[in-house]
Structure 1
């Protein structure tokens, strides 16, 4: 049986969807449109996104889609970097995990306007009851919805609910934060059919008198983090949210924005939310919410929420370079390179075989592959490729995949232990001893990650 997501029939003010960041592809220059088409084709051809027009459209819109092996690895690396940056920046940030769906019994009140997970076969049987009046039909559907589990549209709620059990962990002392990553569902294009999004969330609990300073702190930290991995940092910027777009109780909001070829899109949003939502979640029970920050007070909430699917798209767009170079015959050739940051690049090194005894060289590659895997250096086993491919074609393929280095073992490796290492970013080919390669790669990745 199928499950459908439907919205509760009770009216409610929906979370504000910004209209200022819609795409303007129709008014983009032909150069921008070519860049978009090139990027999307590359993402499909080089295993970042699974093929299919609908799937690629989801990816471009910053929604969860069917990622290919490299796309999934890039997303995993991005989430790991986010987690490390948030939980490692201050001592009092703790990770939590909440469910993406919950039954009506899990909450004391059944909030209207939620997305509900409904058995479509059950709903179909109700709709087939021709003898029911319109009013009775609505009543039956309402009963089904009330008994159906809800799915979250953001991951803020879980942290607000987890505040009280977390207070004893910090001895009721402010400030501290709860971090989480997970899937949620958001309405799409006014169709009423929700789409899945991978969100990251930091909910920072602090005193009312320091909430504004903490919002500024996290804005600086988050913008710095996005720019750290960027080839063109200036494409990432921040701007205040207009007052008319704020919900009740919010005093200020900031968006971190990326400038795509089709226009600006928000990646991360920070809010100074006050204490209204917190009091609503806990039924106004101020006594159990009281904390210490020099004096007893109800915590104020600063939330930091990011769309990591759009983040993946932003870094792929930011890292794509189309370079022109001349060959030995003075012909201009275009070279496409995904210059992803070493900390994000899905594949760090590719292993290939040059001229020489194939069996022996493959054994060397197997040994290197094992060493790299033990050192947690992601490796592409190019030496397993059976189709004949020129060195130029291999280099072009690896550049488009974003592979940092390619290593070629040859008969020289058998004779002297020397092999060739080519850099994606400089295209320089160096001769290195086989015993030094793992150490070189580990140092390079570690140094780049610590910049």
Structure 2
């Protein structure tokens, strides 16, 4: 009967995840007066998502769990973009000598030295500062220019056939005017970029295609998909040579912020980047040779991470053993994105034997690519405190090894989202976890 139950659950998971994005209200009892922003920021600091320095400086730094979450998001972004044929990954230099919107990195000591020279006239000081600025390194504010510069080199790979794209994820530097409300949004941001080259006659269709795909991608991993939306860029915000723009937005507690922007750029920037080489830019479009139109898709990964953290935070009511009501926080990140899939703990008893079982499972999970937290190394917390800790970390399953495991091979498995605890044989746990995670990726 038990094995039949396991098989039935796995069969259901193969079809869809029954718990995800359904019956959210059952588990989502919000406190009206709570400051969700402060709660999330504190949780992220306590559980090593965002380091405490992020709340006092302009630099957004990540702890171990935040780094893993970022890696999972960028992996899924890359996977979604590369599903199209002829999308190539590239890497470009963070230094920028050609981009008009680049940011200069100034040597503060050298600038201060010039300003402290009282003997210099105003004109002489200006000349020295201009020379200093000329020698300063410029850093990029977007990944677009690097892709445009590599366009001609890639033409041979695709036999001058449209469409094709160049994708990249890297650091960019935003000026103060580009920064907004968040203290953890840095001037140094991680950007993901797709630059799509297509024929002029199909550019509008491709713009619609990518806009739809990008919104669906953000919603795919969301607990509350309705918080993600899309809008057209108003005419006043259109850049030079841009005919159309679309934004993917997330509704933060303080208002909507842009996560991803799509621009229909025509051929203006491409011609400007490769001046005097118009014939080298041409591609086949049926029997014609045309200069392709460019569609730029760029996302702020750091802001996207924050959006998913906000979207996944659940504030629940919890009654303790003394019937006192407490607030409980659960980080219900999508199974594909959550940094730790399994926490491995052991109960009281024959500690040396239990630890050997835990170490064997830990090695087995890691070899299978299942991210695992070695909770068995710290047995000081009670079961209730363990579950609180793991729920705040976003851990998907808690596996408890006990004396029963030594006798009968049975483990106690707790699901983060249902809080149901079930027994499962040790020989089945790895297969169950792999199928559960695989099913969530396809949902």
**TM (normalized to structure 1)?**
0.86
For residue 397 of structure 1, report the CA deviation from its aligned partner.
Answer: 0.9
Match of 1:230 in 2: 222
How far did 1:330 drift? 4.8
Distance between the aligned counterparts of 1:246 and 1:209, measured in 2? Answer: 21
Q: Distance in 2 between matches of 1:147 and 1:57?
A: 32
Q: Is residue 344 of structure 1 aligned with residue 369 of structure 2?
A: no
Q: Which residue of 1 aligns with 2:84?
A: 90
State yes or no: 1:281 paired with 2:273: yes
3-state SS, counterpart of residue 351 of structure 1 = strand
Q: Secondary structure at the match of 1:370?
A: helix
Superposition pairs of residues 252-291 of structure 1, within 5 angstroms = 252-291=244-283
* Corresponding residue SS for 2:157: helix
Partner Cα separation in structure 1 for residue 138 and residue 34 of structure 2: 39
**Cross-structure match for 1:135:** 123
Q: CA deviation at 1:188?
A: 2.2
Residue 69 of structure 1: which of 44, 64, 81 is its match? 64
Listed one character per residue, the Cα deviations across residues 135-164 of structure 1 (whole Å, up to 9, x for unaligned) are 222222222222222100111110010101
Distance 2:394 2:45 in 1: 14
RMSD between superposed Cα atoms in Å: 2.1
Of 74, 79, 84, 1:79 maps to 74
The reply on whether 1:361 has 2:354 as its aligned counterpart is yes
Taking the aligned partners of 2:112 and 2:34, their CA distance within structure 1 comes to: 44
- Decide whether the 8 Å contact of 2:45 with 2:52 is kept in 1: yes
Match of 1:371 among 354, 364, 367: 364
Q: What is the CA–CA distance in structure 2 between the aligned matches of 1:223 and 1:321, rounded to whole Å?
A: 23
Instruction: Provide the rounded CA distance (Å) in 1 between the counterparts of 2:267 and 2:332.
Output: 43
Cα-to-partner distance string for 1:23-73 (whole Å, 9 max, x where unaligned): xxxxxxx94761111111111111111113xx1266xxxx75111111111
Does residue 220 (structure 1) correspond to residue 219 (structure 2)? The answer is no
Q: Which moved more, 1:219-228 or 1:129-138?
A: 129-138
Deviations for 1:403-429, whole angstroms, at most 9, x for unmatched residues? Answer: 000000011111111111100011111
Q: Is the 8 A contact 1:64 1:309 kept in 2?
A: no
In the TM superposition, residue 333 of structure 1 has moved relative to its aligned partner by 3.7
Task: Judge conservation of contact 1:32–1:261 (CA < 8 Å) in 2.
Answer: no
Return closer, same or farther for 1:267/1:32 CA change in 2, 3 Å cut-off: farther
1:64 to 1:314, Cα distance in 2 relative to 1, 3 A: farther
Of residues 366, 376, 381, the one that matches 1:383 is 376
Q: Is the 8 A contact 1:347 1:403 kept in 2?
A: yes
Q: Conserved in 2, the CA contact under 8 Å of 1:187 and 1:194? A: no
Question: Aligned to 1:435, what secondary structure does the other structure show?
Answer: coil
User: Which residue of structure 1 aligns with residue 139 of structure 2?
Assistant: 151
Aligned residue in 2 for 1:185: 173
Moved more, 320-329 or 347-356: 320-329
Matches within 5 A, 1:233-248: 233-248=225-240
> Counterpart of 1:46?
47
Equivalent residue, structure 2, for 1:126 = 114
Farther off after superposition, 284-293 or 120-129: 120-129
